[in-house]
Chain A
Amino acid sequence: MPLTVSVVSAEQEVWNGEAKQVIARTQIGEIGILSGHEPVLAILAAGTVRITQSDGNLVVASAEDGFLSVDHDVVTVVARNAELVSEGQKQH
């Protein structure tokens, strides 16, 4: 079952879609989320969030001042200033 991911900033929803993996930097280190992950509420450190879509494409978003919540395969990345850095590159 794929993850349902949404990246939201204060002003709008930046990106949403399905993914098989989400990697983010929290205050105590990197966290990788796959389907079936236990519910987590984590505070993000400055950095990027990398989302691997179901078809293998990579979406990179910058998230500053934010947090990440995982609940029943629903991943929400929330940051005041979230921005899409790049979208749709094939991962090597």
Chain B
Amino acid sequence: MGAQLRIYRQKIRSAQTTKKITKAMELIAASRIQKAQQRVAASGPYSRAVTRAVSAAATYSNAKHILTTEPEKIERAAIVIFSSDRGLAGAFNTNVVREAGELEARLRAEGKDVVHYLIGRKAIAYFNFRKRPIEKAWFGNTENPAPDLAHEIGQTLVDRFIQLASEGGVDEIHIVYNRFVSMLTQVPEVVRLLPLEIVEGAEPAGERIVQPLYEFEPEEAGVLDALLPVYIESRIFNAMLQSAASKHAATQKAMKSASDNADKLIIDYTRLSNNARQAEITQQISEIVGGADALASA
């Protein structure tokens, strides 16, 4: 067997094995999207209820609360980046990190100091490689986020927010995550978490035009104290779930195109190897014919 032919056969085999792996990963991701999407949907009632309650509390209370009032001067802002633990998901992690970078540039242009909180190994690796400071990082289980982790992250952020800026606290918190739009589209999204900009969820208007006057138990400030960390936590948990669902969808898409590319490579190399084999045979025939001629004329 000729050297050229052997090389082509090696390449075909290598493309075939790669395809087996990417195909398997594609199928695994596809089967997990369903579940991740269900979790996003299942957490919907909670975040809707929390958002509605926070809206009500913020709208009907006159109490000046640290979490709802805009500080006069914002010295330091925190950016929370939701990435994944594993790669092979196309532009999934690149997108959030780039979006966060743009946000950081914008904040710095406004004269704010920026600190980073990271979730997922990929963002941590990006920051470590560039030797950029990380305030705090969490990793593990980004594909299947637990509410307890959201609680911990929320607590950390609220604590840091309550601190005075002169003592190292932050005045503003932004989150950057991939929002799951559909199987084909995931959009990196930037949301300012604190101070609150409450957007009333997609509530059907009309039926209840007049919002009721609320009774607070205990007093307004106490309700806000208890409610806002819960709200932050629910937003963070939602971002984690969206990010997980987006990751699976991105992986599926990336692995699908990898499998398709492997298919194309296999076809191309098969053609080339057929060509090489034919050329080898032609050469052998002409050698034999040439040899026979030489013998006959001798």
CA distance A50 to B45 in the complex (A): 20
Q: Is the CB of B46 within 8 A of A40?
A: no
**A69: chain B residues within 8 A (beta carbon):** 49, 52-53, 56
CA distance A28 to B217 in the complex (A): 8
Query: Count of A-B contacts with CB under 8 A?
Result: 92
Q: CB-CB contacts of B54-76 with A at 8 A, as 1s and 0s?
A: 00110000000000000000000
> A11: which of B43, B216, B222 is its contact (CB, 8 Å)?
B43
> B42: which of A6, A12, A40, A71 is its contact (CB, 8 Å)?
A12
Q: Is the CB of B150 within 8 A of A41?
A: no
Question: Besides the contacts A69-B49, A71-B212, what 7 more A-B pairs have beta carbons closer than 8 Å?
Answer: A10-B46, A12-B46, A26-B218, A41-B57, A43-B227, A67-B230, A72-B212
Q: CB-CB contacts of A23-51 with B at 8 A, as 1s and 0s?
A: 00011100100000011111100000000
CA distance A76 to B53 in the complex (A): 10
Whole-angstrom distance from the CB of B169 to the nearest CB of chain A? 24
**Chain A, range 1-34, C-beta contacts under 8 Å to B:** 6, 8-13, 26-28, 31
Q: Is the CB of A41 within 8 A of B223?
A: yes
**A65: chain B residues within 8 A (beta carbon):** 230
> A43: which of B46, B150, B214, B217 is its contact (CB, 8 Å)?
B217
Whole-angstrom distance from the CB of B151 to the nearest CB of chain A? 7
The chain A residue sitting closest to B57, CB to CB, is: A41
Whole-angstrom distance from the CB of A89 to the nearest CB of chain B? 25
Whole-angstrom distance from the CB of A64 to the nearest CB of chain B? 12
Q: Is the CB of A76 within 8 A of B49?
A: yes
